Amino acid sequence: MAYVDGFVLTVPTRKLAAYRKIATLAGKVWKSHGALEYRECAGDDLQTQYGVPFAKLAKAKRGETVLFSWIVYKSKADRTRVMKKVMADKRMNMNPKDMPFDMKRMSYGGFKVLVDM
């Protein structure tokens, strides 16, 4: 069964182009090591009637865009294999201080797929 890493983070809207550049490189790295899908999505319609809005969940500040991202793998074991290669890949050797967002405010985790259609 597929396995998914999911992320929610905020990026200052003025730094979205810089984030897109980093995310595009990251997607190429993940896919080159075996990830099946790599998606980075910017919040567009986040006003909800029910539940906790993403902006509130992510504690987005004025001038920030909420991103919802995921990476799909064949399995949890494959995710472990891919992640090991990604972390060793020199293309991913980036200084956290150079990131266009606050990594301490990013939420992420691994998820078992319950429904796959």
Percent of the chain exceeding pLDDT 90 equals 81
Is 55 exposed, middle or buried, given 0-12, 13-18 or 19+ CB atoms closer than 10 A? middle
State whether the Cα torsion 101-67-4-26 is positive or negative.
negative
Structure confidence at residue 96 (pLDDT) = 78
* Distance (Å, whole) CA 113 – CA 110: 10
The pLDDT tens digits for 50-107 are 999 999 999 999 999 999 999 999 999 999 999 999 999 999 988 878 889 888 889 9
Q: Give domain limits for the chain.
A: 3-112
**With the CA atoms of 97, 101, 107 and 110 taken in that order, what torsion angle do they form, in degrees rounded to the nearest 10?**
-70
* 3-112 is classed CATH 3.30.70.100: yes
